[in-house]
Amino acid sequence: MTDAADRAPVSKRPPPVLYRWVVLVVISLAMFGNYYVYDAVSPIADLLKAQLGFSDSQIGLLNAIYSVPNVVMVLLGGIVVDRIGVKRATFVFGVLCLVGAGVTAATGTLAVMATGRLIFGIGAESLIVAVTTALAKWFKGKELSFAFGVNLTIARLGSFAALNSPTWAKPAFEHWQAPLVIATAMGVFCVVGAVVYWVLENRAEARYALGHAAPVDRVAWSDLFKFGTSFWYVVLLCVTFYSAIFPFQTFAVKFFIEAHGATREYGGFLSSLLTAFAMVCTPLFGYLVDRVARRALFMMLGSLLLVPVYLLMAYTDVPLLVPMAMMGVAFSLIPAVMWPAVAYLVDERRLGTAYGVMTMIQNIGLAGFNFLIGWANDVAGASAANPGGYALGMWIFSGLGFVGFLFAWLLRRQETGPHAHGLETIRVG
């Protein structure tokens, strides 16, 4: 007769460190393709105006409509992640990214291009939710902030490549369509990364003990209203911060060309400088925060950096490298702290839903401010003949930086009080 001890399941060991980091790199490839496709519009903004007759409002529409479905879809995406698991969700959303990129490149008709960006947006933000949830699953209690920083560095390589494509793919920029075809090719990484991650997670489930909660049987919508005050301060900081960054990048190359006389290649380089700083500094900030805590304080400092940069570009002759470097530091610091912080504020079973709520509200801001800045540029007559027309948009961006600082300050006040979750005190390693 078999002894009861022999029938007991053998406890599994955690995945090896190297395995976790291989998983991180693989799933980050999906983000690389995602980020490339998103930033493919900015370098061709002036071509869309010159060759297709698009206004700034219509150019803003192409990025704004990306965010519109995510006001609802990204929340559903977070719930889908919780229900079907990261590996399946990542694959589904990766396929949507690739399809959307292809439709966008198919024709110069605004309605078709906007439809492509709509499809891409449905997949892209939900893909980010899935990948962020995966990082929390594999790295919570370990090097989470550092891992998230590495993930963003790989993802932002996609942005860096897209924004510098006028240099390394210069012949393609004779016509608006060729750069979007290149973007579609890059979108293949969204699917390839998801497929390889699926294989790696299946293998890990069979061999190792993974640190994730059991699948959620039912999502209670009332749970969406039970997240604490600190979580909502992080969400409000998220929406103001990203609304000051990404709508600016929509028009950045066009702004540098028309308001500062830059070439398309140098304009793309300046815009990518923001990404380059983030690629290098985000993992470093993540490593630092894991060890010293003070997460809300770091978010305050990052928000404060954004306040002057837009006015420096609008009203001074300070070399553009200076404000773009300042923005790059902020773009490195806040995401390195903000997204991992959610894992300390929300129960792990609802983490996908929490990231979905956060990204949903972020997309309300991105949609609204892409529309608003495009409208402001048109109303103020922003152009090469009237570079001062860009000032209205720059004031809007600067105001967002100040509001973000206010929310970060409120978060720090909450996290240094009796209802703190450890954002200012929890250290790893």
Supply the DSSP string of 180-205, one letter for each residue.
HHHHHHHHHHHHHHHHHHHHHHHHHH
The answer to the question of residue 3 being in a domain is no
The pLDDT assigned to 224 comes to 63
- Is there a domain that residue 246 lies in? yes
Closest Cα partner for 268 from 252, 246, 248? 252
Q: In this model, does residue 215 exceed pLDDT 60?
A: no
Q: What is the mean pLDDT of residues 81-97?
A: 87
pTM: 0.72
Which pair of structure tokens corresponds to residue 312?
């420096």
8 CB burial (10 A radius; 0-12, 13-18, 19+): exposed
Average pLDDT of the segment spanning 267-289: 85
CA angle 380, 402, 34 (to 5 degrees): 75
What is the mean pLDDT of the segment spanning 348-373? 81
pLDDT band at 29 (very low <50, low <70, confident <90, very high): very high
Q: Among 188-192, 209-213, 389-393, which stretch is predicted with the lowest mean pLDDT?
A: 209-213
Check: CB of residue 127 under 8 Å from CB of residue 90: yes
Between CA 112 and CA 65 the distance in angstroms is 12
Range of the domain at 411: 17-210+217-415
Domain presence at residue 33? yes
Q: Is residue 372 part of a domain?
A: yes
The predicted structure's pLDDT at residue 408: 92
Express each pLDDT in 400-425 by its tens digit: 999 999 999 999 998 887 877 778 77
422 within a domain of the structure (yes/no) = no
Domain of 359, CATH number, reads 1.20.1250.20
Encoded tokens for 3 = 């002894």
| Dihedral sign of CA atoms 30, 31, 32, 37 in order | positive
How far apart are the C-alpha atoms of 22 and 26, rounded to whole Å?
Answer: 6
CB-CB contact of 390 with 259 (8 Å): yes
> What pLDDT was estimated at residue 75?
64
Q: What is the DSSP string of 252-268?
A: HHHHHHHHH---HHHHH
Cα separation, 330 vs 326, in Å, equals 7
Confidence of residue 106 (pLDDT cuts 50, 70, 90): very high
How confident is the model at residue 213, as a pLDDT?
Answer: 38
User: Quick one: average pLDDT of 196-207?
Assistant: 86
Res 116 pLDDT > 80: yes
Q: What is the pLDDT of residue 64?
A: 83
Residue 6 lies in a domain: no
pLDDT above 50: residue 211: yes
Q: What is the DSSP code string of 147-181? A: HHHHHHHHHHHHHHHHHTHHHHTGGGGGSSHHHHH
Mutual angle of helices 351-379 and 110-139, in 10-degree steps: 140
Could you give the number of structural domains in the chain? 1
Q: Which residue has the tokens 């027309």?
A: 389
Residue 112 lies in a domain: yes
Whether residue 424 lies inside any domain: the answer is no
State the DSSP code for 178.
H
pLDDT confidence bin for 8, thresholds 50/70/90: very low
